[in-house]
Structure 1
Amino acid sequence: MFNFLTASCIDFWILFVAFRAISFTRATIFIDSNVHNDYNRSVNQNEIKSLNHYNVDNGEIKIHRFHELLGHNGRIFFPGQNSSPRDLRVKVFSKRIQKIRKVPGEKINWENQNGPEALAERKLVLLRRYMLERKLDAYIVLSTDEHQNEYVNEFDKRREFISEFTGSAGTVIVTLDKALLWTDGRYHLQASQELNSQIWTLMKSGLGNTLNTTNWLRTNLKKGDTIGVYANVISYSLWKNYRDELEPTFIFLLVSEDLVDSIWNTLNKKEANKNNKIYLLPEKISGESWENKVERVRKRSINDNGDQQTCALLISELDDIAWLYNLRGDDIPYNPVFFAYSIITDSSIYLFINNIKLPQEVRDNLQRHCDDEDTKLCVKFLTYDEVYQFFPQHMNQFNIIKTPKSINMRIYSSIVISPNEENIKKASQNLVFLDYSPVKWMKIIKNPIEIEGMKQAQYRDSAALINAISFLEDEIENDREWDEISILPIYEYYRSKQKYFKGLSFEPISAVGPNSAVIHYSPKIETKRMITKQEIYLLDSGAQYLDGTTDVTRTFHFGSPTKFQKEVYTRVLMGSINLASLVFPNYITGRQVDTMSRQPLWEMGLDYRHGTGHGLGAFLNVHEGPIFIGVAGSLDVNFKHGMFLSDEPGFYKANDFGVRLETIVMVKNFTTKYNYSDQDYLAFESYTLVPFEPKLIDYSLLNCNQVKWIDDYNSNIKRYITPILIQQNGSRALMWMNKRIIPLEDIRIKKGCPD
């Protein structure tokens, strides 16, 4: 339940906040209480209860009397009200489940509804039952959690649970007669395979004829209809977008208890575990003390508001908190972060975290200044949920509250809703939204120690992958059987032998033939294919090391590729080289350089439906914003020395094969021959050092600069990876690697390239 109002207020389950920018006096707060005081209308409690009296007990649905308040056209009328009737489209919903239930009041034994299709439909029936109880015409299910994480814990996979689509990105909208999933080009093929097309509609985001979620709602709902979403997981920025697009035509409700969670608890007894221990990251790895980081944050965002201004900064994203305090955890799969919030003021530091997660050495480290004369570096621990009471209790202490737009709406509501009208006015006037936390801007620029750690992590990881692939190719040559799943422990084994190994950085994409055309394919027992000499094999994998995070993709063929496969691979490689060898002024953004990678494919009418590059954390998230290379970036960010990104163009032919080549690069300062107008220039340096596949390269397509780049890249492989393989007795891997990094002297001569 929300705890936004004082204890004397009535208990409530849905909260709607519609703030208007003109003045706080126009703000409207709608509260649906457990007696259904619907949108400030007085409706008889007994009538409403009879309307929505659906009970689920022991797998049965009992449907009571809700026809009594129906008009002739299926609309529900609220007695004594002059407002327009509200259409719940009950008849449509009744038809939708007619094959399961014949008449109101009939009991349904779900045990007789066998199979995955019945289970998928059962979930929607239950969800629509809860929607009817709460008088919702549409319900939005998001992929995120309270902290807007890209990858979420198992107990936060609500969208996956309701839709059975396992990709990391997507939005579900369920109405009383439709169920739809929106996802981007990375997942179009995967979603089409995983969704039950009998009850789900796939909306392919990014295609010109696909309505986005707000346009679809405007087109398919009627004026006055109510749309619900779980307040804990929708960000302020997304809520504001929905509100601006949909109100006042529709009513947009923030639900305090998620409807999918209600179903999940009923079906699967979902359990939450947020109590994994956190641990210290040594300063010799982080390169900077947490105290210095906090003071930099204060200088950047708190002490810049004038002498008469008191400011509080809320930090809600988990990788920002982990980086700031030099801590790591295990609460999110593959990402070494932990559930927490933090608030920093000019004189205080608060960390909201469950006490059970804090070992004594972490407490001692963060509270070692609590006995100082000046305690502004003393970290005060509060429980995780106390963040929702903090601002209501301390509102009078701050003139300015700064928060990233990614905060969830439960926190936002706790700031701006108060029994005290003066607090509401103060909050609405003094709340400052930031595109991103100042910590994020600091974090994406690695310090010298982080840069060295990231570099060494890429080198060790490259050696591990070379070891693993040389093993696999030897096995395939000797006709030993391996499939997409059985080979995965081999990759983890070789990585686990490397210094500072902490685990994988994401679920590996191990894909053969048609499966490699699924951009974010996840191998499963029912879809796995054998790795053979006849089909392309794509491997996208990475690891977490104490000193860095890795992410690398290479595409292989252990037999004889087709001419088209060679051309595609070569053009993808050309795009990767174009980006990696680019020299550019420092005002250029990721959106602008993206075309360099696509140009070789565009020449042949080919393309790929994903970004070309993403930021990379230092023993943090494998996808680190806001830096991004692609046409769809939400914010143009200038590159700076010390940023790490991926360089990963690709191509995917549905139901045939896919190619992707991903190399981690670092942005570095570059000195040009001339310096026009004192302009600073930048370039990329490649740190992933895994050979490309010579049998897939059509060298006739390459220009001299691209051939030289490959030679230089191969020289770096020999220089930096050879010592690691020798130290680890990787003789087979060394032979495999050396065959693929032979200098391209003959090709350079044939092309007439200069020395």
Structure 2
Amino acid sequence: MFQTFEPVSDRSFAGKHLPLLRAEMKKLNLDGFIIPHDDEYQNEYIPAYAERLMWATGFSGSAGAAVIMTDKAAIFTDGRYTLQVRQQTDSNFFEYIDVTTTSIDVWLTDNAGKNLRIGYDPMLHTTAGVNRLRAASEKASFELVAVNENPIDIAWKDQPPAPLTPVKAHSMEFAGKESDQKRKEIADAIAKAGADSVLITAPPSIAWLFNIRGSDVSRSPLPLGRAIVNKDGKATLFLAPEKVGNELPGVLGDDVDIRAEKDVTAVLEKLGKEGAKVAIDPALAPYKYVDDLKSAGASIVPLTDPCALPRAAKNKIEIEGTRTAHIRDGAAVTQFLHWLDTEAQSGNVDEITAAKKLEEIRSQSDMLRDLSFDSISGAGPNGAICHYRVSTESNIKLDRGTLYLIDSGGQYPDGTTDITRTVPIGQPTEEMRERFTLVLKGHIALATTKFPKGTTGHQLDVIARKPLWDVGLDYDHGTGHGVGSFLGVHEGPQRIAPAPNTQALLPGMILSNEPGYYKSNEYGIRIENLIVVSELKPVEGGDREMMEFETITLSPINLVLVKPDMLTQHERDWLNEYHDRVRTTLAPLLPAEMKDWFEMVTRAI
């Protein structure tokens, strides 16, 4: 099993660990300390040693932060974790803050008094983040203090070691473009920016650029490391020596020098002494590296990670690979849906059993390398927790008369998948069916949208929400996130969400389409497929080239929950055509005994 279901934290963590942290803060003469969820690489999913926020607070979500003062503390999360943070952290220790309305710097402005010393780890904060904190410190007259060693790392006596898993080449069969071609593109971007080199600190960009993968991070095939690329296309790749096998140097070629990751600071200092112009992404690079460069005499050239856009806009081989991965994965999910419709309808199956069953079916493919995230297996009220993670403590049965929400995905060498289906256990209520159909209407509206060049995901978000808005409903998460190619299941810069985003959608970008509805303490509904932005094409009678989405996820959408009379003819046509494609594509991959069931659940309505 890739997943485990024992609780990774509990509400006692703060009571046990905050005194230890505050003791170390006192030694450093700190009145407060900022704890981001981020690790030194700004990863979403982080290695066990970097779970500093969870150690201090008990909160195990993939996004959040905390500020620990000597006499109080606050924890910051967004709408995805409103319920989870209250379940996992003790309100006797923490004030709960919605980060979308009150950011850390704003909270510090109001709560950090004059001359107080507020500490932060410069390896865990970006330049952009530190600049916001500095503005707050100037406004409120507190002192912002960079620590040389994180006090949590001192207080956390059984902290796990950093991972040292082997780095492997990612075949051209799946990558679609040689590393030297990619480095040439990055070199052109460096020269255009007026820099001599660029410091790449994001592991997904390093994996993409050098066509390598690793397993330092669960659920994401990432090798942790750093890289410097020069304007001539030559590069230095910084990896722990234990990760580098005999074959890797030959695969990377003579233009890539492999050095130990601990050498990064020395190389940056050398660049500084040479007066080099070094490009860095202020939103990604650890502030310590920027400070090292400046102190050594380098000129800093702000530059958005030049790998981000070409990594997000997949090439034709990557797109074809992800189509294949989704067919394979869709067949597995469909077999699981059959199991839900038969064996799980008794009311005796629980969330962990269901999650294990889906993983078991997926694992029958020898192409599966990992899950793309821990499955969200939510029955009844747990389905209303957007990023719910089932444990032996929270596990409940799929009771009859309730809804079951399963959000899951797989990591395959040819693609990363992410799919959510909502299934009734027993007979659903009319309210459940109505709200499921509203979510489906929003899903179809986005899936069938055409849009001109330059359109951002922010502009499209309302399309998926309108059916819910019309009756006074909504959901507190984005409608779509970017997805990598055998990389992270959450990938920027593209997204479809209410928050402003200036990144235009480009051909080859993969996103999720996942509107939902959540009735607290009762049930959750979400329908998620992955979609690919098409190439520009003319529309008959139009005067602008337009793009559209191709839906690549293939698995039945539950028809028992659909109220056909709420759908327009256009919406019925889309659903029928989608199910016809699901049936035609997946039927050869499914067991013969599923034939009658499969035809029924993909029937035209």
TM-score range, shorter chain: over 0.9
Size of the aligned set, in residue pairs, is 593
| Residue 383 (1) aligns with residue 260 (2) | yes
In 2, the alpha carbon distance for the partners of 1:132 and 1:169 equals 27
With CA pairs under 8 Å and 6+ residues apart, which has the higher RCO, 1 or 2? 2
Q: Which residue of 1 aligns with 2:528?
A: 662
- CA displacement at 1:302 relative to structure 2: 2.4
CA distance in 1, matches of 2:336, 2:153: 41
Q: Assess if the C-alpha contact under 8 Å between 1:476 and 1:532 holds in 2.
A: no
Q: In the aligned structure 1, how far is the partner of 2:322 from the partner of 2:386?
A: 26
Calculate the TM-score normalised by the size of structure 1. Answer: 0.77
Match 2:334 to one of 466, 471, 478? 466
Instruction: Write the mapping of 1:539-618 to structure 2, written as runs, cut at 5 A.
Output: 539-618=406-485
1:153 corresponds to 2:43? no
3-state SS of 2:301 partner: strand
**Conservation of the 8 A alpha-carbon contact between 1:471 and 1:733:** no
Name the aligned partner's letter for residue 448 of structure 2.
Answer: S
- Give the counterpart of 1:717 among 557, 582, 595: 582
Give 2:94's match in structure 1, choosing from 189, 200, 214: 200
1:234 to 125, 147, 151: 125
Q: 1:480 to 1:521 in 2, by over 3 A?
A: closer
Q: Any idea what SS the aligned residue of 2:247 has?
A: helix
- 1:353 partner amino acid: L
Match of 1:595, SS state, is helix
Residue 450 of structure 1, CA deviation: 0.5
Task: Report the equivalent of 1:42.
Answer: none
Instruction: Indicate yes or no: 2:142 matched with 1:250.
Output: yes
| Equivalent position of 1:646 in the other structure | 512
Note the C-alpha offset of 1:273: 3.2
Residue 365 (1) aligns with residue 251 (2): yes
SS of residue in 1 equivalent to 2:335: helix
Query: Which of 328, 338, 346 does residue 213 from structure 2 map onto?
Result: 328
Within 5 Å, give how 1:500-519 maps onto structure 2.
500-519=367-386
- Partners of 1:566 and 1:116 lie apart in 2 by 35
Unaligned runs of 5+ in 2: 1-8
What is the deviation of 1:489?
2.2
For the 8 Å contact 2:14–2:89, the answer to whether it is kept is no
1:285-364 equivalences in 2 (<5 Å):
285-299=174-188, 301-304=189-192, 311-347=196-232, 348-364=234-250
CA contact (8 A) 2:186 2:307 kept: yes
Distance 1:183 1:287 in 2: 38
SS at match of 2:459: helix
Tell me by how many angstroms 1:481 deviates: 3.0
Q: Which has the larger radius of gyration?
A: 1
Alpha-carbon distance change, 503 to 310 in structure 1, aligned in 2, over 3 angstroms = closer
Partner Cα distance (2:430, 2:77) in 1: 32
- Percent of aligned pairs sharing the same letter: 32
Q: CA deviation at 1:259?
A: 1.3
Report the CA distance between 1:480 and its aligned residue.
7.5
Residue of structure 2 equivalent to 1:215: 106
Q: Which amino acid aligns with 2:542?
A: N
1:410 and 2:301 matched: no
Please say if residues 310 and 398 of structure 1, whose CA atoms lie closer than 8 Å, have aligned partners that are also in contact: no
Aligned match of 1:164: 58
CA distance in 2, matches of 1:121, 1:154: 21
Matches within 5 A, 1:464-503: 464-477=332-345, 479=346, 481-498=348-365, 500-503=367-370
2:601 to 727, 736, 740: 740
What's the offset of the Cα at 1:241? 1.4
Look up the equivalent residue of 1:195 and give its one-letter code: T
Task: Say if 2:372 and 2:488, in contact at 8 Å, map to a contact too.
Answer: yes
CA deviation vs aligned residue, 1:146-192 (integer Å, no higher than 9, x gap): 11001101110000111001111111011111111110000001111
State the alpha-carbon separation in 1 of the partners of residues 321 and 245 from structure 2: 26
Change (3 A) 1:554 1:116: closer
- Most deviating of 497-506 and 547-556: 497-506
Select the residue among 437, 440, 448 that pairs with 2:316: 448
Gaps of 5+ in 1: 1-114, 371-377, 745-755
Note if contact 2:190-2:198 (Cα within 8 Å) is conserved in structure 1. Answer: yes
Letter matched to residue 312 of structure 2: I
- Contact between 1:568 and 1:651, CA under 8 Å: does it hold in 2? yes
Per-residue deviation at 1:721?
1.2
Q: What is the CA deviation profile of residues 313-371 of structure 1, one whole-angstrom value per residue up to 9, with x for unaligned ones? A: 1111001000111110000010001111010113431001111101111121113xx3x
Work out whether 1:437 is the aligned partner of 2:305. yes
Per-residue deviation, 1:246 = 2.5
1:633-656 CA distance string (max 9 Å, x none): 5x3211111111000011111111
**CA–CA separation in structure 1 for the residues paired with 2:593 and 2:60:** 37
Query: Is the Cα–Cα contact under 8 Å of residues 33 and 68 in structure 2 kept in the other structure?
Result: yes
Q: In the TM superposition, what is the alpha-carbon distance from 1:119 to its structure 2 partner? A: 5.2
| Contact persistence 2:271–2:293 (CA under 8 A) | no
Partners of 1:719 and 1:116 lie apart in 2 by: 47
Alignment CA distance shift 1:584-1:119 (3 Å): closer
